Structure 1
């Protein structure tokens, strides 16, 4: 099954109009023809089956023949992660977290961050590709990058607020704190870890210091482990 992404479609849509880039991909690359059936999602929980009624390099049109809804994740997982020095490593996190199951992502710029800027357009494409590859109907929300201190001081709606850091202080087991159908927010720091000031600020704003295991993990690995931990608890 090959899944296409069309964010402007809704349950009341009758037809889907593809832009020039996607039309070229459908007609020239995939060699689809009129009468072929496409599987499509809007990234908001809905799958469509649609029959191609027009195929050209500049415009493809499909008529929706079937609409189904996918159940959302039984939990809400929001990860606030410091972008890594290597874009590839952060993109690996985005890809794997989407495949496993994540709701929301916020890049945070920390005191020890080696990368201060991101490419949101590139990150969005990674998320879309991972969603389609894993046959999901929900696209994770990518928030605007923000400083860690500003983010920590924001009002958060999640039930469980955690900060995963490497300092040798008292920390709880993250896996031991997760409950089924819970709303969770986890802060994951940069290669140089959070600063002591950031950790104290988080603690003063109701974030619980946690450990993700016995070994020190890279930023993207820690984020993937946190994602899998929440997913696993909600499956078993």
Structure 2
């Protein structure tokens, strides 16, 4: 069944008008007709099966047939990552990380930042598209750019991937499902001051293997390992 995103979906109403983007897709791309059934998601675990009552390409109307609610998973995969200079690369990370199972992405403004502005609306659309494609019912949380020191102070006791000579542990053995953000720096790495602060606040330096990885690759590696850890320990 085709899925469509409707953030205002609640159990209190049984009739909704879809936004224009979803309405156009239903009417002009999929050529769906009145009476066809679709699935609506609010990104917070609420799912509804609905019947199209008016396939208007500007404002499709639907009636809810039934609801189903899915609780938010207790486990968290929280990646804090510095946006890449090439916007396509960070967008690729966001899409694939959502498909794999990331639950939260925080964007870091590091001392060696390659990008100090991002288009959150664009990133959120990527999250929505990837959520629907991968049949997820919870939309990952996206947090705007924040200075590394502020993030570390607000989220102590995580994991930090960096390229300095250091004593590091394997990410698989260090990951914990609860309150364990994994921070990934820019291509120029974290500054020595950022690394020192992270260690002071209880961050464990981790290795992501012997090869040096690009920022977005390191992020995907971390998400994948965390997902495997959760699958093996569920």
The answer as to 2:57 corresponding to 1:61 is no
2-structure distance, mates of 1:147, 1:24: 39
**Structure 2 SS opposite 1:116:** coil
Deviation, structure 1 residue 36:
0.5
2-structure distance, mates of 1:221, 1:71: 30
Instruction: Please give the TM-score of this superposition, normalised by the length of structure 1.
Output: 0.93
1-structure distance, mates of 2:57, 2:5: 18
1-structure distance, mates of 2:48, 2:180: 30
The answer as to 2:175 corresponding to 1:178 is yes
2:51–2:65 contact (8 Å) kept in structure 1: yes
1:74–1:234 contact (8 Å) kept in structure 2: no
What is the aligned counterpart of 1:216 among 199, 212, 215? 212
Superposed, 1:26-175 pairs within 5 Å as 26-154=26-154, 156=155, 160-175=157-172
Paired residues in the alignment total: 232
2:84–2:186 contact (8 Å) kept in structure 1: yes
CA-to-aligned-CA distance 1:79-134 (integer Å, 9 cap, x gap): 11000011111011101111111111111011112111111011001000000000
2:44–2:72 contact (8 Å) kept in structure 1: no
Instruction: Please give the TM-score of this superposition, normalised by the length of structure 2.
Output: 0.94
1:43–1:138 contact (8 Å) kept in structure 2: yes
What are the ranges of 5 or more consecutive residues in structure 2 without an aligned counterpart?
A: none
Q: What residue is the counterpart of 1:188 in the other structure?
A: 184
Cα RMSD, aligned residues only: 1.5
Q: What residue is the counterpart of 2:16 in the other structure?
A: 16
Deviation, structure 1 residue 71:
4.8
1:163–1:207 contact (8 Å) kept in structure 2: yes
CA-to-aligned-CA distance 1:151-188 (integer Å, 9 cap, x gap): 2222x3x7x51111111111111111124x43320110
